A and B are shown apart, each in its own frame.
Chain A
């Protein structure tokens, strides 16, 4: 029994890492007031670039860096359109997803079926020996440990430093921030770029660690789940852990129920739950009257222009 719970926990963490990283990235972007629906596209490009770099060089560090940089590079297209040209963020984000999927698909064809770098799970000394919890949390891919650190770090920077204050100011009221002397365009560009790095990193987790290898469909909608999770965790990087764990936990349960023929909750319901819960949270957040404290950045999705 305990063994099964530990295993479900392990799979839950393992399945949630990509969503977690992408969610943290998208929170940073949206806190700066820019909606980027291109997460799925940036993830798949990151997955391809990470795999390709690993395949070409055999160096896992280069592979991870290439994955993140590719996501970041793609996100700069979004920055150019939404900040420089002030175009519609929803439309541009969707185009970014389509572009990313198409580009990865097209460029990745020669790599299908090749064996590249595999980043293996790594048991953290001492910590992994903690009964149950150690096995669940500290016998994971190095990506998971990265996410454990990056989440709180993002929270700290966002809420405890001046840079974070600037970011949130730009997202809440770009005009006021501008009046206070903040460079709105630069701040937003950096927010988009950092979001892209995270998405690319999330993608490279899939192609280097989760299922090492390149398949053009490998993100399988996880980018969209990340976007839903941003709302679910009300734009807070620490709560992103809960959102991602929920997603990972439901994934793990769905398989476990099947493998053991204990079909308490039908798999379709489990697959639906992350979205249902997101809608539920959205309703709660917007109706609770605490909107200013917990919910969406006020200037989210609004292009900033000094003349208007």
Chain B
């Protein structure tokens, strides 16, 4: 008898844990277009998922009278296919998977539901009814690096996340910008050690983010570049009196008040575009990789310690990118050993960028296996 009671109570405990993956419908009416999002983490993670949630809010604001939106939080790889299939069975018209790990599960479901549109963020596999989309965060990284260079920071410490092309591209763009800024102010620097990179090997890990930032600061790095989804490395820098640069969302809003600037995602503009295409029947599966020309990447407001002339120069560079003139990865560009990656007159193609697995000169540290 007792054993049965115990088993029953244990079962209740497990169920309690199950409640936590929440599933919310923002509004529900039958005749509207049904839009669903699977989110990696909770909407208040202060980084990646928060930025997607802000996108969802913008979508709701703009098209709320024509669509109904649902989202599910904490959709991890193992559970993703079930979530997508569930949405498909409920007759959703367009389903978004918002993290890299959603790619294969989304593709599996897309094959079974050819009439539903599927959208995958940050991946490379597609189908006639499944499109890839992403924002060119490296443009923001480049501007942040340029700003840091103009301000004379020459020993930056980067708390990087997973050693895959997206962060690698960002680190490189940041370093290229940093070098450009330093060259413009005529600073002396050690050209092999401008930007030291350490890896969390996770998208978020608050304790290790803090420790890595502190380690870099103890090694006399003068600026901390946060790349994780959570602002804790920036916050640790602030606590130690070293400036930081935030990522994904405005780190200064989450207590990291020393953040000079943050590079932030603006997914809303894409979500509106994609859903409008479904509404008017022009949706196709051509991959979308937008950037500052669409305001897909935004710079937060600058910290008051950033000088006006630096801001002006950064914003001038921003104008160029917003006009679509992206020459960040133009040659001459060298790898860490000084070998030529791109000659004068050459430039990295989108394919090169999407598969980038090499660090440029100026980065100290290596890509873990």
Contacts and interface: CB of A to CB of B under 8 A. Distances in A.
Interface of A: 7, 11, 14-15, 81, 85-88, 91-92, 95, 98-99, 101-103, 105-106, 109, 112-113, 115, 118, 206, 210-211, 213, 215-218, 220, 222, 251-252, 255-256, 258-261, 263, 266-267
Given A112-B46, A213-B255, A258-B212, 7 more contacts: A98-B14, A102-B17, A106-B20, A218-B207, A258-B215, A259-B216, A261-B196
B255 A113 contact: yes
A115 B235 CA distance: 11
Interface string B173-213: 00000000000000000000000101101001111111110
Contacts of A222: 207
Given A85-B5, A102-B20, A261 B364 contact: yes
Contact of A213 (B13, B45, B232): B232
Contacts of B254: 113
A76 B236 CA distance: 35
A206 B17 contact: no
Contacts of B211: 11, 14-15, 251-252, 255
A81 B6 contact: yes
Given A11-B211, A85-B2, A259-B198, A112 B44 contact: yes
Given A11-B215, A258-B199, A259-B219, A217 B6 contact: no
B135 interface: no
A274 to B, nearest CB: 15
A38 to B, nearest CB: 11
A267 B219 contact: no
A211 B16 contact: no
B216 A215 contact: no
Nearest to A118: B239
B17 A255 contact: no
Contacts of B5: 85
A222 B211 CA distance: 15
A68 B159 CA distance: 32
Interface of B: 2-3, 5-6, 9-10, 13-14, 16-17, 19-20, 42, 44-46, 157, 196, 198-199, 201, 204-212, 214-216, 218-219, 230, 232, 235-236, 239, 254-255, 364-366, 368
B219 A260 contact: yes
B44 A113 contact: yes
Contact of A215 (B206, B219, B236, B255): B206
A90 to B, nearest CB: 12
Which of A86, A88, A258 has most chain B Cβ within 10 Å? A258
A211 B232 contact: yes
B179 to A, nearest CB: 19
Across chains A and B, which 8 residue pairs bring their CB atoms closest together, nearest first?
A102-B17, A258-B198, A87-B6, A255-B215, A211-B210, A7-B218, A215-B206, A95-B13
A256 B365 CA distance: 12
A7 B365 CA distance: 20
Interface centre among B9, B205, B216 (most CB of A within 10 A): B9
Given A11-B211, A92-B10, A109-B44, A217 B2 contact: no
Given A259-B196, A259-B219, A115 B207 contact: no
Nearest to A248: B211
Given A211-B207, A258-B365, A98 B17 contact: yes
Contacts of A88: 6
A259 B215 contact: yes
A266 B369 CA distance: 10
A11 B20 CA distance: 34
Contacts of A15: 207, 211
Contacts of A213: 206, 232, 235, 255
Q: Which one of A91, A98, A211 has the highest number of Cβ atoms from chain B below 10 Å of its Cβ?
A: A211
20 contacts: A7-B218, A11-B215, A14-B211, A81-B6, A87-B6, A92-B6, A103-B16, A105-B20, A112-B42, A210-B207, A211-B207, A211-B236, A213-B235, A215-B206, A215-B232, A252-B215, A259-B196, A259-B198, A259-B212, A267-B368
A231 to B, nearest CB: 23
B232 to A, nearest CB: 6
A85 B7 CA distance: 11
Given A211-B207, A218-B206, A98 B13 contact: yes
Given A86-B2, A210-B207, A220-B207, A255 B255 contact: no
A110 to B, nearest CB: 9
B206 A211 contact: yes
B273 to A, nearest CB: 29
A255 B198 contact: yes
Contacts of B212: 255, 258-259
Given A259-B198, A261-B366, A101 B17 contact: yes
A258 to B, nearest CB: 4
A216 B74 CA distance: 12
Nearest to B230: A215
B255 A206 contact: no
A259 B42 CA distance: 31
A102 B5 CA distance: 21
A99 B16 contact: yes
B13 A99 contact: yes
A293 to B, nearest CB: 35
A115 B20 CA distance: 24
Nearest to A251: B211
